[in-house]
Amino acid sequence: MSRDIRPTRRAVTESSVGVPGADAANPVVTLSDNVVTLRPWSRDDAGFMAGAYADPAIRRYNGVLDRLGRPAPPLSIMDAEAVIDEFALNWRAFATTETPSGVAFAIMDARSGDLVGCCGVDDWSKADVAQVGYWIAASARGRGYATRALILLTRWLFELGAARVVLTIVAENKASVAVARRAGFVYEGTMRSHGVWQGRRCDVMWFAALPLEWTRRGPDEPGRREDAP
């Protein structure tokens, strides 16, 4: 059944129409609601990414943690370039596999062109379930960017054939929980002691959106203010 609802090669190719330098082997996808724009990361963005990852909130809720919940060191410019190169490889794989696992978008203010954050697909399962995530730089929080970006990303994934889009959020990250709810995601439960931060166990909340249910919740409604890391 999952094979039947996967995006076709034609759908993957058409994502690139009208984008300079795009082709079937190197798709460039841009999504926008005229307030925020999502586009693939560029090496020119490495400075912004490195700066954002110095933020303690992003390192806690979005960074890589070891088994004791200790965050990795902040990214250097070279580290950020390596992360962006990996994103580029995942975009090229998307053209072949027809599933966007591991792709990531830079979030921009559509009017100013300023970078404000990141969102992307952590995984796309064989059952066509997409797990996503997002973060907003500290200087850009409180303007509704995360909600709008999550709505754009979710709509795109449903168009590609996702049967379900899921989010996992540390229960203490109340701003991110608010973003999920405003974007039309439904709380499904809490995984107790599922995560760890600096040696302390923490609960992780599970949210999901289904295509027909999410459409009825009005995903085009503009997001209210939030400050999710």
* End-to-end C-alpha distance for the chain, whole angstroms: 36
Q: Do 53 and 63 meet the contact criterion of CB atoms below 8 Å apart?
A: yes
Kindly tell me if the per-residue pLDDT of 145 is higher than 70. Answer: yes
Q: If you classify domain 2-216 with CATH, what class do you get?
A: alpha beta
pTM of the complete model: 0.85
Domain range list for the chain: 2-216
113-124 pLDDT, tens digit each: 999 999 999 999
Q: Is a pLDDT exceeding 90 seen at residue 220? A: no
Query: What does the alpha-carbon distance between residue 148 and residue 154 come to, in Å, rounded to a whole number?
Result: 10
The 8-class DSSP code of residue 4 comes to G
78, 71, 72, 149: which is closest to 117 by C-alpha?
149
pLDDT at site 227: 55
- What DSSP letter does each residue of 157-171 carry, written as one string? HHHHT-SEEEEEEET
Residue by residue, DSSP assigns 88-100 as: HHHHHHHHHHSS-
Neighbours of 207 (CB within 10 A): 21
What pLDDT, on the 0 to 100 scale, is given for residue 207? 98
Residues 17 and 27: their CA atoms lie apart, in Å, by 9
